[in-house]
Structure 1
Amino acid sequence: MKRKYLMAVLACSLCLTAASVHGMAATADSAKTESKEETEEKNTEVAEAETEAKETETTTEKASEAETEEAADETETETKEEETEEAMERPTYKALDFVTLGDYKDLVINQKDLGLPDVYTDEEINEYVESSLKSIAASVDGVAEELTEGTVEEGDTANIDYVGKKDGEAFDGGTAEGHDLTIGSGMFIEGFEEGLVGVKIGDTVDLNLTFPEGYKNEDLAGQEVVFTVTVNSVKRVPEITDELVSTVTNGDFSDLASYTEYVRSYMDGDLEQQKTSALHDKAFSMLKEASEINGYPEGLKEYTEAFIQDYYEASAERYGMELPEFLEKAIGITEEEFQKELVDMAEENMDLELYFNAILETEKIEITDADYELMAQNYGYESFEAMYESGGDPIKESAYLNMIQAKALEALTENVTVQE
C-alpha cells in the first residue's frame, strides 16, 4: 500500500534536512521564483495604494479602516498560532502504564534468519566492481558507445521504459520511463536483468517474475508480477583497464586494484550495517509478538496526527509547494488518500513510540541534551539549536523519535544471543 512510502516518520525522520525528491529541485526553485515575483508585484501595488491614500481624506479613512481590520486579522492569527502551539504540546506519560513488555532478556536469533552472508566473496566483490565501473562509465561522455541496433548484453547499460503489474493492475513504484539500468548490477529483482539479455534494441518484452518473500514492500513480497519492458537504447563500455578506471573516477583511483580495495572496504562496512539493521528488525519483531499495548496516553493520538500532518506540510513548504502538489510529486498520492491513511499511520507510529519508550524505562535510559547535541553534530550542525532553526518543531520531534528508536534498539539487541 502507499502507506509504506508515508510511514517514514520514525524510520527516516530527518529527511526534512536531507530529503531528495527526484525532479523537485527545479520545481521548487521555479515555485520560489514565481512566489518572489508575485510578492514584489503585490508590494508595488500596496505602495501605490498607500500613495493614493494620502491624496484624499476619504481614502485615508478607508486606509484607517483597513488597518483596523488588519490588526484584527493579526490578533486572530496570533490566537490561532497559540492554539496550534498548545495543541502540539507533546503529552507526558509513562509508557509502561500502557505497554506489557514480553521477556526480551534471553532472545535467541539464528544467524541464518538474518538472511545475510558472513562475508562477501571475492567473486561478489569483483562482480560489483565491474558493474559499478560500467555504470559510471556509461554516464561519462565519450567513454561508452551508444547503440540503437543490436541486442542487450551482460554489462550493458540499457535505457528502458517499464510498467510492473500485479493481477493486471500497475503497482506503486513499478513504472518508469528512460531509466538507465546496468545489466548485472543486481539492482532489480531476480530475473529482471537476466530477462533483458538478448532482447533487441527497440523491442518490448513481458517478464513474468516473482518478488522475493522477504521483500520490503509487504504487498509485493512473494507475489507474481509482470513487467512490460521496452529497450530504448544501449550504452556499451569497453574492456575495463587501469586507464579506464582513472578516467571515469577523475583520477581518484589510478588503477583497478586500488578501486577494488575501496569497494571491498565499502561493501564490508555496508554488510555490517545491514547485519545490525537486520538484527534490530528481527529482535524487535520478536519483542512485539511477546508484548501487548493496552491503550494510549491521553492526547497522544491527536499530537501524533498533527505532527505527521505538519511534517509533510513543512516538507512541501521547503520545496515551495502546497501539500497536495508535494504529495502527488513526491509520493504519488492525493491529499484525500493521505488523510485516509493518516489515522493508521498515527496508530503505527504510536505503537512504535510506546514500545521504544517502554524499553528505555525498563532499562532506565534517558534522552539527554548531550544526545541532541551529538545528533546535530553527526548531521553537520554546530549545535542542536542550529539544527532546530533549520526546520523548527518537526526537526525537534524527529530528532526525539530517532533517538528513542536508536537507544531502544541498541538496548534490546544487547540482550540478544546470535547463534551461528
Structure 2
Amino acid sequence: MTQKWEKHEGNEGTLTFTVPSEDFEKGLDEAFKKVSKDVSLPGFRKGKIPRKMFESRFGVESLYQDALDFVLPDAYRKAIDAEDINPIDQPEIDIEEIERGKDVVLTAKIQIEPEVKLGEYKGLKVDELDTEVTDEDVENEINAMLESHSDMVIKEDGEIENGDLVKFDFDGYVDGEAFDGGKAEDYELEIGSGNFIPGFEEGMLGLKVDDEKDVLVTFPEDYHAEHLAGKEATFKVKVHSIKAKEVPELDEELLKELDKDVSSVEELRESVLKDLQAEKETARDNKLREDLIMLASDNSEVDIPEVMVKNETDRMVQEFSQNLAQQGLNFEMYQQFSGQDEKALREQMKDDARKRVKTNLTLKQIAIDENFEVTDEELNAEAEKMATQFNMSVEDIKRTLGDLSMLKDDLRLQKVVSLLVDSREQ
C-alpha cells in the first residue's frame, strides 16, 4: 500500500492512496458472497450460482462497488495514519484507477484541523474567587437544609406568595389569537422560580384558589420563538390549588437526619462550615482553570471551519438531550413548555460550540509545542485510578475504553492545564 498527501491552501488537501490488488481481490470475494445471495438464474437456486458464471453473465465490474465498500475503510484509515492526518469531516473519495489484478488507486479530498497561532499562555493573570465562608453563609446553608425537609401544605384560603407551589390552567393569546405552546391544564409552578415569562409569576401573586385572572405580559425581544418576541400576550389563568412550604424546627431528631455524625447544633455548624469551605475552594480551583484556559484561547488565532462548529453543536445537542432524559423529559416535552425548536436551540448553542472548538484546538497546540507526552506508566496509573473509582478491574476499564487514545489525550490536556495554572502570575 502506498499513499501521498498534498496539502492545499487553507484546511484542505488531497490524499492519494492505493488498495493492494490482493486486498481488492479479497473484497471481490466478499462482494460476491453478498450479491450472489439475491441472484437467481434458470437451473440454479438463489445464492447457488457459480462465481465464473456470475462474472460471465454480469461482469466482474458489477462487484467493484461492493468490493470497495469492504476494503476502503481499512485502507483509508491506514493511509491517514501513515501520513499523520487528522480529518475533521467525511472525505470526498474518487476512484482514479480500478482494474482486477492491479492496485486500486483512490484520491480523497480531506478537510483537516486548522493551524493554530498561539498567543501568550504562560504567566497569565486572572482574578481568583474569595474562599472565605461567613457566618451568614453557614446560616443560609442550614436554612436551605431545613427547607429541603419542608412539607407542602395546602393553603385553603391563603393568597399566592413567592415560594408557593400552584396548580392552575392557563390559555395564552397574542393579538387575540391562541398560539402553540400557550395552553396547559393542571400545570404546577413554583412562584418566584423564574421559569415563566417575566411578569407572569408576579401577576399570580395575591390570587386564591378558584380565582381567575387575565395576566398581561410582554415576551422579551430576544425570545427564542421569533413570532412571539416582543409581543404583548394575555394569559387567562384559573387557580386550582396552592401549597406552601412548611419549614420544620431544628430539633434533635431532624439534626440526625441532616447529619448523622453530629450531636449538637454547634457541631452541625462546624460541619457545614467545613463543607462550604471545601466547596468554595473547589469552585475557586475550577474557575481558575476555566479562566486561564479561556484567556489562552482568546489569545490564540485560528480560522475555525464551519464543519467543526456543526460537529460540536451536534455533540452539545446530544448532551442536552441526555440531560433532559435524566430529568425524565424528552426534547418534544422541552419544546412544548419552552417554545424552542431544535433549530433555535442549535442557533443558541452555536457561539458556545465555536468557543469549545477554539479552546480544544488551542490546548492541543500547546501540548504539541510543549512536547507533552503520556507515558505507559501514567496511562496505567490513570486506568487504576478509574478502576477504583468505578469499582471495576483495570482490564475491564481498558476493554471499555478500547485503545486508550482518548484517555491519553485527556491526560495530555491535563498537563497543559497544570502548566497554565503553575505558570500563572500570582
TM-score, normalisation: structure 1: 0.50
Which structure shows the bigger proportion of residues in helix conformation?
Answer: 1
Work out which of the two has the higher radius of gyration on C-alpha atoms and give 1 or 2.
Answer: 2
State the structure with bigger RCO (CA 8 A, min sep 6), 1 or 2.
1
TM-score, normalisation: structure 2: 0.49
